[in-house]
């Protein structure tokens, strides 16, 4: 059987053309991806050079310089140089809301406070939340400072501490699902409304690199005013109390006080055959007196029951 070489080559021409185009497109695609990555790295390097120049010019201490560099590295590792908020800021409002709802809904639903809210409320919350990154050892809020935002932890851990008296601190740890800044809920829903921001009842410090999202005070005010019916829900109020650092601290001290009172009564009962039992109020131990004092001190920062009965 005789085969014409020219006909054979023509029959395989589409295959060779396909292979050639596939190879070219593959190489071109790889070059485009590598070029994009290289451009981002170059932009990051240029930004860091500008930051280093600014820190030298302003004579920042080495400790501050280290914290700035650490923050920029953590931010690059988390976002790879992409600022999502900046990218979607100028999109049409409807499209922007839909994209933010898609990006943030899973994170918002991880917060127990939001699990009992309907989709309309969650959509408005997603549209207003901002992604935040904090490096290890950063002080986010100091006790007594005005509360600027509600902070919802996604990854990482924070330490919430209150100074009680004589330098004694009460501490608790906030992890994924916990939040801070619940003073804003009471502030927004109190009547008559007071424009002055409430003071923070605790100091927040990061224990590790922490990712969170925040609702600014004005955004919390908008959501609570437009969807007030949601916060009347008993499940929402119980979640707010349970996950609030202020309520948790107060509850822990109250439980310790009750336990010490119980142990003291057992001690008096066991010693009743040795000496006459005296009134409990006259036999209070130093530890119980101290806990009573702490409870009295915590009465002020304790969330008011009326504030959650809106």
- pLDDT tens digits, 84-132: 767 777 888 888 888 888 888 887 887 777 877 888 889 899 889 888 8
Q: In which residue ranges of the chain is pLDDT below 50?
A: 3, 8, 10, 27-28, 30, 277, 280, 282-283, 297, 299-302, 306-308, 310
DSSP for 162-209 reads EEEETTEEEEEEE-TT-EE-THHHHHHH-SS---SPPBPSSEEEESS-
**Which of the four CATH numbers 2.60.120.10, 3.30.70.330, 3.40.190.80, 3.40.50.880 does domain 129-247 have?**
2.60.120.10
- Report the pLDDT value the prediction gives residue 203, as an integer from 0 to 100: 92
CA distance 95 to 118: 20
What letter would DSSP give residue 146?
B
The pTM score is: 0.64
Residue with tokens 């059987």: 1
What letter would DSSP give residue 114?
G
- Report the pLDDT value the prediction gives residue 269, as an integer from 0 to 100: 73
CA distance 183 to 191: 14
- Report the pLDDT value the prediction gives residue 282, as an integer from 0 to 100: 47
- Report the pLDDT value the prediction gives residue 21, as an integer from 0 to 100: 53
Residue 2 burial (C-beta neighbours within 10 Å; 0-12, 13-18, 19+): exposed
Alpha-carbon distances, residue 197 vs 128, 146, 162, 188 (angstroms): 19, 6, 19, 9
- What are φ and ψ of residue 104, in 5° steps? -105, -15
Q: Yes or no: say if 250 and 190 are a contact pair by the CB < 8 Å rule.
A: no
Q: Yes or no: say if 168 and 253 are a contact pair by the CB < 8 Å rule.
A: no
- Report the pLDDT value the prediction gives residue 20, as an integer from 0 to 100: 54
- Report the pLDDT value the prediction gives residue 165, as an integer from 0 to 100: 65
Residues β-bridged to residue 172: 160
- Report the pLDDT value the prediction gives residue 11, as an integer from 0 to 100: 56
- Report the pLDDT value the prediction gives residue 59, as an integer from 0 to 100: 92
- Report the pLDDT value the prediction gives residue 310, as an integer from 0 to 100: 47
- Report the pLDDT value the prediction gives residue 30, as an integer from 0 to 100: 44
* Sequence-ordered list of residues with C-beta below 8 angstroms from that of 59, at least 6 positions apart, any chain: none
CA distance 49 to 64: 16
- Report the pLDDT value the prediction gives residue 289, as an integer from 0 to 100: 59
């Amino acid at each position: 059987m005789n085969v014409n070489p020219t006909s054979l080559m023509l029959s395989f021409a589409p295959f060779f053309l396909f292979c050639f185009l596939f190879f070219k497109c593959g190489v071109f695609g790889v070059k485009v991806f590598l070029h994009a990555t290289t451009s981002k790295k170059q932009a990051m390097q240029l930004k860091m050079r500008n930051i280093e120049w600014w820190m030298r010019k302003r004579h920042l201490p080495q400790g501050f310089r280290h914290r700035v560099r650490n923050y920029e590295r953590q931010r690059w590792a988390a976002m790879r140089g992409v600022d999502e908020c900046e990218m979607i800021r100028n999109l049409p409002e409807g499209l922007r809301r839909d994209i933010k709802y898609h990006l943030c809904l899973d994170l918002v639903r991880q917060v127990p406070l939001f699990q009992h809210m309907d989709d309309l409320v969650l959509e408005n919350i997603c549209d207003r939340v901002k992604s935040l990154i904090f490096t290890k050892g950063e002080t986010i809020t100091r006790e007594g400072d005005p509360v600027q935002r509600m902070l919802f932890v996604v990854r990482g851990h924070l330490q919430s501490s209150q100074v009680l008296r004589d330098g004694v601190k009460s501490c608790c740890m906030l992890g994924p699902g916990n939040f801070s800044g619940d003073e804003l809920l009471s502030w927004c829903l109190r009547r008559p409304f007071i424009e002055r921001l409430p003071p923070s009842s605790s100091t927040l410090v990061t224990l590790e690199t922490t990712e969170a999202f925040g609702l600014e005070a004005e955004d919390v005010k908008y959501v609570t005013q437009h969807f007030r019916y949601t916060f009347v829900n008993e499940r929402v109020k119980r979640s707010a109390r349970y996950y609030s650092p202020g309520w948790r601290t107060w509850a822990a001290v109250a439980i310790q006080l009750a336990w010490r009172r119980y142990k003291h009564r057992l001690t008096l009962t066991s010693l009743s055959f040795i000496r006459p039992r005296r009134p409990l109020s006259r036999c209070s131990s130093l530890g119980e007196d101290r806990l009573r004092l702490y409870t009295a001190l915590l009465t002020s920062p304790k969330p008011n029951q009326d504030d959650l009965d809106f």
